[in-house]
Amino acid sequence: MSAALIKANQRAFTLVEVLVTMAIFALIGIASFTVLDQMAKTEQQSKQAREQLQQLQFGLLMMQQDIRQAVIKPTRPRGVEVVHQYITNDADFADSDSGLLALVKSGYDNPGLLLPRAELQPVIYRVQDETLQRLSFAYVNDRSDQPVVQDLLQGVQSLQVRFYRQSQQAAANQGLNEGWQGSWQTRGDLPAAVEVTLQTRAFGEIQRVLLTTGSTTDLAATDE
């Protein structure tokens, strides 16, 4: 075999062939990176959505339990006069950007009164900086200590609360939206149900109707 034939068979790639090959590998790399980056972003968005959903479910569960355990307990919200209004959405009751729900709940066990707190717990739900918060206090009529503040759900734009009155309860307040009313001013009883509406960035409007015990028996009016 001649030297010229051997040299022809061993011919190297041309510059154009090298550039085309590099361009093909670059395109494959860019496409792979785009796919992986999109998958990572999708996973992150899914994780955030799951966390927000878990926060929403937990927040509504906390609110449901507190409303279900609401009790008839006279309070001294301003430290002087005794008030027999046992559940309220009055925005002046606490500092809230939009909406409020306040009540006193039972189920706060303190066996043998060994812990420095009462067995009844004042609870306030409010919105601060687009965060739904739960405030709880150690004693019903002693606000000298700072409350425990628990952040429940981010991205909450507003909290709205309405109350449902049963037909056998004070007929004078009937007729608003078939028993629903925007505030609860009645002395001596609780509403049959509480409607909670959250306006959120992630889920839009969320509305739940939560039942109370409907108790009409006063607890002792002594301070705790």
Reported as a single tens digit per residue, the pLDDT across 140-157 is: 776 667 889 999 999 999
| Residue among 89, 84, 75 nearest 139 (CA) | 75
CB 86 within 8 A of CB 66: no
pLDDT digits 0-9 by tens, 83-118: 667 898 987 778 899 999 999 988 776 666 656 566
Please state the domain extents for the chain: 57-211
Backbone angles phi, psi at 8, to 5 degrees: -65, -40
Q: Dihedral angle at the C-alpha atoms of 169, 175, 179, 184, nearest 10 degrees?
A: -70
**Residue in the structure block whose two tokens are 């509480």:** 194
Can you tell me the distance from the alpha carbon of 86 to that of 120, in angstroms, rounded to the nearest whole number?
13
Residues with pLDDT less than 70, the chain: 1-13, 76-84, 109-118, 142-144, 166-178, 214-224
CATH topology (fold) of 57-211:
Pili subunits (3.10.610)
The model's pTM: 0.72
Helix (H/G/I), strand (E/B), else coil: 76 = coil
Can you tell me the distance from the alpha carbon of 27 to that of 20, in angstroms, rounded to the nearest whole number?
11
